[in-house]
A = this chain, B = another copy of it.
Amino acid sequence: MRRIEIPRGFRDFPPETMKARLNVIEKVRKVFERSGFPPMDTPSLEYWETLAGKYGEEAETKLIWRFKDPLSNRDFALRYDLTVPLARYIALHPEIYLPFKRHQISLVWRHEEPQRGRYREFIQADIDTVGSTYIEADAEIINTISMALEELGLKDYIVKINHRGLLRDVIEKRFGILSNNILRTIDKLDKIGEDGVKQELKKLGLNEEQIQTISSLFIRVKLDDTASLFDIIGREYREKYVSIFNELFSLLYYKNKAVFDFSLVRGLDYYTGIIFEIVLTEGSPGSVAGGGRYDNLIGMLKGEPLPATGGSLGIERVIDVMVERGLIKLEPITFGAFVVVLDNEAFPLAWEYVMKLRERGITAEIDLMRRSPEKQRKRLNTLNYTYAIYIGKKELETKKVTLYNRLKGMRLEIELNESLKYLEEELRR
């Protein structure tokens, strides 16, 4: 027999973990819905042509799970993000009302080298607004993701903001250099440090003054305080971008979280305007969300341009941090009621009793292993339950049952049918 394995970089989610995941997803969904982003879903697979040319070279050659389906002889790819599938959906539905807002919480697949906190299959939670060119749409994305973090209790975040147009203007118009490689280098600041970035920029042909200009911008300032930076950035861009940043600032609901960060690039090729990234600052810091405006992507699929903006909350990182901080507990499954069968002849009564509890909305469990009352009690001691209910010969005759409330340490003898009503009121969820 071949050795059985779980695929490398993939994970099982046993019940304790899965409960926590579902709870977080549910909370995030509610915040998104309240902000007018109802749920949507798209297929896990797309034709390769749909994804090709959207994410940049590294993603295309190394990170996308791409394969030829031998049964149809077509090239498929597993969903790499939720944005391109949305663009494909929009392209196929010209009848759609604009602005189109939706959220999508779905799996994506990336062929990353697995490491702590990085998986080959993970959940993203995205919101996007299609059809509005206005800064309100960008601000609403940031406000909504911020509100989700606030409600999850992750309040130590900052929102780093930049503008792809500004980055391109400075590098291409002012320096006269094609910006793609430069942007990719700046994007590595967190990984290789300032000196590393400077060395790579030199290799890319930037002169000392240009490198000095860029590295003197590696400071964070409040978003409504960017005007002074344009002495460095280039005063010719001040009017355009300062007003954009100020306008965005005025629309942000959690204003003290927002900073301008010139080193923020965002990896993906498709961004065109405001870009943002949200990082946690306490404990092990790191990015939990990001996004931006992508006014050309839908046009690549639809044939005519349609503006759009969106953001993605990294549910996996959020869950990891919440577990680390004790905000969610991975605890054994809880039962409202556990029925202990004391005599074989009482089993049918106990069995029906459990079904009646479940019918009344109570999580109820009974032994499926024909264990002795002692062994059932032993198992009970390892479980997280509220009521233990004992049913045996005596209960069969008297039509009464004994309830034991573990949390209150209270014992109660009660008529069988009455006990159902009693437990329903006590336990229904």
Contacts and interface: CB of A to CB of B under 8 A. Distances in A.
Interface of A: 1-2, 4-8, 10-15, 18-19, 21-22, 31, 33-36, 38-47, 49-50, 62, 65-72, 76, 78, 88-89, 91-92, 98-99, 102, 107, 109, 111, 121, 129, 131-132, 134, 136-137, 140, 143-144, 147, 250-251, 253, 300-303, 333, 335, 348, 351-352, 355, 358-359, 361-365, 368-370
Contacts of A368: 99, 129, 132, 134, 136-137, 140
Given A71-B111, A143-B355, A36 B88 contact: no
A321 to B, nearest CB: 20
9 contacts: A1-B303, A4-B50, A12-B92, A13-B40, A36-B333, A36-B364, A45-B109, A65-B69, A136-B351
Nearest to A41: B13
Contacts of A355: 143, 147, 253
Contacts of A303: 1
Contact of A107 (B33, B44, B137, B250): B44
Given A4-B88, A144-B358, 16 more contacts: A2-B49, A5-B50, A6-B92, A7-B47, A11-B43, A13-B42, A14-B40, A14-B89, A15-B39, A34-B362, A34-B363, A35-B358, A35-B364, A36-B363, A134-B368, A140-B368
Contacts of A2: 49
A318 B234 CA distance: 61
Q: Secondary structure of the A side of the interface?
A: mixed
Contacts of A107: 44
A37 to B, nearest CB: 9
A355 B89 CA distance: 29
A45 B253 contact: no
Contact of A12 (B65, B89, B137, B143): B89
Nearest to A46: B7
Contact of A134 (B36, B47, B50, B370): B370
Contact of A34 (B18, B36, B71, B358): B358
A348 B255 CA distance: 14
A147 B359 contact: yes
A21 B41 CA distance: 10
A317 to B, nearest CB: 18
B71 A12 contact: no
Nearest to A89: B12
A219 to B, nearest CB: 29
A16 to B, nearest CB: 8
A377 to B, nearest CB: 16
Contacts of A10: 43, 45
Contacts of A364: 34-36
A332 to B, nearest CB: 9
Nearest to A63: B71
Contacts of A7: 43, 45-47, 76
A352 B254 CA distance: 11
B49 A369 contact: no
Contacts of A21: 41
